């Protein structure tokens, strides 16, 4: 029995589902916390779990270089290594190695690159990426692909997509199927509907346990991203999970769920926590701002997370961040990830209740309220 996905309901374009995996069950729509180097930065696994996070993402590129995939395998796999017993999705490393401008060479075979740590030479190919993800014991393995740059001409996008589809086939051939594990193919094709459709067709021909929409969240406007989703998600099979890679801001998540997406990952909640930005039901705030130095209120008075309910004031968080105390990023990250998971939970609830459209309207109005002092 491979990775399971049950579609429990749908409302106003949004889907309510459940992933069943070798490492437990995940309610969708879900937001995956980014745990690049085998840690969600600034949080213990227990803190991550307390936010409602059901699945964590690991980065093949970072982990293959340090501490090394073979080492993690010998130590019992990534779940054991980072003490996250729940599901883990790993990316293929493709996105990161493509970003190594000047340090990598792309060929049909794969990508040769130099480590950003020590300049040492490495190779990532569909086969090696898939093997690394197997060594890591990833619950969900991603196909190795080329993330098409944005903007790209239709010709460039077509060639890039075609390469990704050949690599998708090789990734699938290299994948070792196991009970409760799965592999996702990645739809490319930039902003061109025909290319996206061709990419979907090619992936369906191969057959995966889930499908990701790639090549977005690379600088295009939100409207463009939504337009691509509108002509991509309807082409994907309803009985398989859909993952929008690298997205996004709260408004992006709500809009993408409305367009049939089930899974997300993004560094925004965690990275923002390290730069003093907090997400709240009344929009974002930057805790470094002097206006918060004497503010006794929690970050978000409507939030029940361990930071907001725990009595930590904006004044205290302002002090911690200004003083460059580790506890500042820790608490802000904890809150932000909780905020993201609360948002996902509210969306799941709204879909179940058949009130997703109202939820979306209310969410947009709340975000426009601003943080009145």
Q: Which residues bind a second copy (CB under 8 A)?
A: 37-39, 41-44, 66-67, 71, 74-76, 80-83, 293-294, 296, 310-313, 315-316, 318-320, 322-323, 325-327, 329-331
Looking at the chain, which runs of residues are DSSP E strands?
4-11, 14-21, 24-28, 30-34, 56-58, 88-90, 104-106, 111-114, 121-124, 140-142, 182-187, 210-213, 242-244, 263-265, 277-278, 285-286
Least separation in angstroms between CB 296 and a second copy: 6
Rounded to whole angstroms, how far apart are CA atoms 206 and 197? 14
Does the CA dihedral 10-16-265-59 come out positive or negative? Answer: negative
Shortest spacing between CB 341 and a second copy, in angstroms: 18
Q: Look up 262 and say whether it is catalytic.
A: no
Closer Cβ to a second copy, 44 or 107, answer by number:
44
Residue 83 CB, nearest approach to a second copy (Å): 5
Nearer to a second copy among residue 239 and residue 324 (C-beta): 324
Please tell me the distance from the alpha carbon of residue 49 to that of residue 46, in angstroms, as a whole number.
Answer: 5
Nearest-approach distance from CB 21 to a second copy, in angstroms: 20
Closest residue by Cα to residue 370 from 296, 286, 295, 305: 286
CB 67, CB 77: distance < 8 Å: no
Region for 278 from its dihedrals, namely left if φ exceeds 0, alpha if ψ lies in -120 to 50, beta otherwise: beta
Q: Which of 11, 137, 145, 265 is catalytic?
A: 265
Instruction: Provide the token pair at 50.
Output: 């307390």
Smaller CB distance to a second copy: residue 77 or 237? 77
Give the nearest distance from C-beta 312 to a second copy in angstroms: 6
Instruction: Name residues whose C-beta falls within 8 Å of residue 237's C-beta, 6 or more positions apart in sequence.
Output: 204, 211
- For a second copy, the closer of residues 196 and 318 by Cβ is 318
Q: Which two tokens mark 162?
A: 């075609």
Q: How far is the CB of 50 from a second copy (least distance, A)?
A: 11
Which candidate in 91, 145, 295, 300 is catalytic? 91
In the residue annotation, 265 being an active-site residue is answered as yes
Tell me the β-bridge partners of 27.
Answer: 18
Q: Count CB atoms within 10 A of the CB of residue 5.
A: 22
Which CB sits closer to a second copy, 301 or 311?
311
Q: How far apart are CB 267 and a second copy at their closest, in Å?
A: 14
CB nearer to a second copy: give 68 or 354: 68
Q: What angle do CA 184, 35, 144 make, to 5 degrees?
A: 30
**Please, which residue, 63 or 244, has the CB nearer to a second copy?**
63
Q: Under a CB-based contact definition with an 8 Å cutoff, are residues 225 and 251 in contact?
A: no
Q: Taking Cα atoms as reference points, which of 87, 212, 197, 76 lies closest to residue 145?
A: 212
Two tokens at 34? 């980014």
Token pair of 15 as six digits: 């889907």
**Inter-CA distances, 243 with 119, 189, 236, 286, Å:** 33, 16, 11, 30
Catalytic residues: 91, 265
């Amino acid at each position: 029995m491979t990775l399971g996905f049950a579609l429990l309901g749908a409302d106003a374009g949004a889907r309510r589902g459940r992933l069943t995996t070798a490492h437990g069950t995940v309610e969708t729509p879900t937001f995956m916390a980014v745990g690049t180097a085998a840690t969600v930065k600034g949080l213990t696994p227990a803190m991550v779990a307390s936010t409602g996070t059901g699945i964590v993402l690991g980065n093949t590129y970072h982990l293959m270089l340090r501490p090394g995939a073979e080492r993690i395998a010998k130590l019992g796999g990534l779940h054991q290594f980072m003490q996250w017993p729940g599901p883990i999705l790993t990316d293929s490393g493709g996105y990161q190695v493509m970003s190594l401008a000047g340090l990598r060479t792309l060929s049909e075979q794969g990508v040769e690159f130099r480590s950003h740590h020590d300049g040492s030479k490495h190779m990532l190919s569909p086969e090696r990426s898939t093997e690394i993800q197997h060594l890591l014991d990833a619950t969900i393995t991603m196909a190795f692909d080329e993330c098409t740059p944005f903007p790209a001409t239709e010709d460039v996008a077509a060639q890039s997509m075609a390469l990704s589809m050949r690599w998708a086939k090789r990734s699938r051939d290299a994948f070792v199927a196991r009970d409760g594990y799965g592999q996702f193919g990645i739809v490319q094709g930039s902003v061109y509907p025909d290319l996206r459709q061709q990419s979907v067709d090619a992936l369906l021909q191969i057959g995966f346990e889930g499908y990701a929409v790639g090549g977005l969240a690379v600088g295009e406007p939100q409207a463009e991203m939504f337009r691509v989703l509108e002509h991509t998600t309807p082409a994907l099979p309803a009985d398989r999970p859909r993952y929008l890679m690298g997205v996004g801001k709260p408004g992006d998540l709500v809009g993408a769920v409305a367009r049939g997406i089930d899974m997300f990952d993004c560094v925004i909640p965690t990275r923002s926590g390290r730069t003093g930005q907090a997400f709240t039901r009344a929009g974002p705030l930057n805790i470094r701002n002097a206006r918060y130095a004497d503010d006794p209120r929690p970050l978000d008075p409507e939030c029940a997370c361990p930071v907001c309910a725990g009595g930590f004031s904006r004044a205290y968080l302002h002090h911690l961040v200004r003083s460059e105390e580790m506890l500042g990023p820790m608490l802000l990250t904890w809150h932000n990830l909780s905020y993201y998971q609360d948002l996902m939970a509210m969306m799941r609830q709204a879909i179940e209740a058949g009130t997703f459209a109202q939820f979306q309207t209310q969410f947009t109005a709340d975000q426009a309220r601003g943080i009145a002092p």
